[in-house]
Homo-oligomer: A and B are copies of this chain.
Amino acid sequence: MRRQPLVTLTTDIGSAYAAQMKAVLARRLPPGSVVDLAHDLRPHAVGEAAFLLRAMAVGFPPGTVHVAVIDPGVGGSRAPIAIGCADGSRLVGPDNGVLMPLAEALGRPRVFRIDRARLGSIGRVGTTFDGRDLFAPAAALLATGTRPARLGPPHRPVRYAVPVPELTATRAVGEVVHADRFGNLVTNVPTAWLPDDVRSVGVALGTGRSRRLPLARSYVELGTGHLGVLGSSFGLLELAVAEGSAARRLRANVGSPVRFERLRRA
């Protein structure tokens, strides 16, 4: 028996619009098929959403259908796309880069431009809410066996500029790619850039001088109220205040440039 795949939803549109997508899916899929990942992502923050979508969705079972609606370009010229990946997972969303880090992590993405006409009566015409009118219908079809190639012609996706850190033996220049609800600032510098045995690191926001901050294994080791650097659960260096907010302390946010420096006497 082939198990019915799950459909995950990741959006910045809030619960009330997302509910309208669930209605479309509920008409076609068995109970329990839809999994909410997040509907409260920072509005229009395509880069942060791409980062989070990869982290959230990559662990789901092969064959899952992942829908992402962070879509400031809705109604414009950006294409709606469906992607088939090596493990049988399918992705649906706008061609603005939000799907690509996940697609590449899932392997060998084949991208198709969704043709609204091929969605049949389940699709709707509209210019402001493709989540309901186009992406949810496409996801319902994919979850019930339609192949991505049946939704439209092959498409060359826009690749969103994922911020890549500059790494040398002594310096890493990157930026904040995610601020979580605790105020932890996750950067794009891999934790593995630092040797295991260092206990402190130089950190600068922007172009200023760096200051020495402790490198801790956990918030507890950092100590309540103290600012430091941790290896985050994303495998990336994170600035954190234990039981506090690094975002507030440092007045930094997604996009803030960060520089790490290895120190002599670590």
User: B-contacting residues of A (Cβ < 8 Å)?
Assistant: 3-4, 6, 8, 10, 13-17, 19-20, 22-24, 26-27, 30-41, 43-44, 52, 55-61, 64, 72-77, 126-129, 132-133, 180-182, 217-221, 230-233, 238, 242-243
Contact = CB atoms under 8 A, between A and B. Distances in A.
A22 B40 contact: no
B41 A75 contact: no
A232 B243 CA distance: 30
A223 to B, nearest CB: 10
A60 B16 contact: no
Contact of A38 (B19, B217, B220): B19
A227 to B, nearest CB: 15
Nearest to A233: B129
B22 A218 contact: no
A162 to B, nearest CB: 18
A75 B15 contact: no
B15 A218 contact: no
Contact of A4 (B31, B61, B232): B31
A88 to B, nearest CB: 14
B35 A6 contact: no
